[in-house]
Amino acid sequence: MRIKAKGYFIEGGGERFNYISCLNVRQDHITALEDVIVNHTQGWAETSADWNQADAEQALANSQGRGREMGAV
């Protein structure tokens, strides 16, 4: 992939090509990505240990029903 990307870059007029490997190649990068995800999903219901998809879908259906009763379309 690196060679192909470099070829396209040079053909497009690029002069200096620096390849940066994928972030999931090294364990420390994977750990860093995991940390970002964990830090930015704090408080999301879906990350809670007691999250239940069926309950969430039922709550949504109930909310939508109440909205329709109040005239929402």
What does the H/E/C string look like for the chain?
CHHHHHHHHHHCCCCCCCCCCCCCCCHHHHHHHHHHHHHHCCCCHHHCCCCCHHHHHHHHHHHHHHHHHCCCC
Q: What is the pLDDT of residue 24?
A: 80
What does the mean pLDDT of the chain come to? Answer: 89
- Domains of the chain: total: 1
- Closest residue by Cα to residue 18 from 9, 27, 31: 9
- Looking at residue 46, its pLDDT comes to 83
Q: What is the percent of the chain with per-residue pLDDT over 90, rounded to a whole number? A: 51
Expressed as residue numbers, the domain containing 7 is 2-69
Over residues 39-67, the pLDDT tens digits come to: 898 888 888 888 899 999 999 999 999 99
Q: What is the pTM of this model?
A: 0.41
Structure tokens at 57: 């879908």
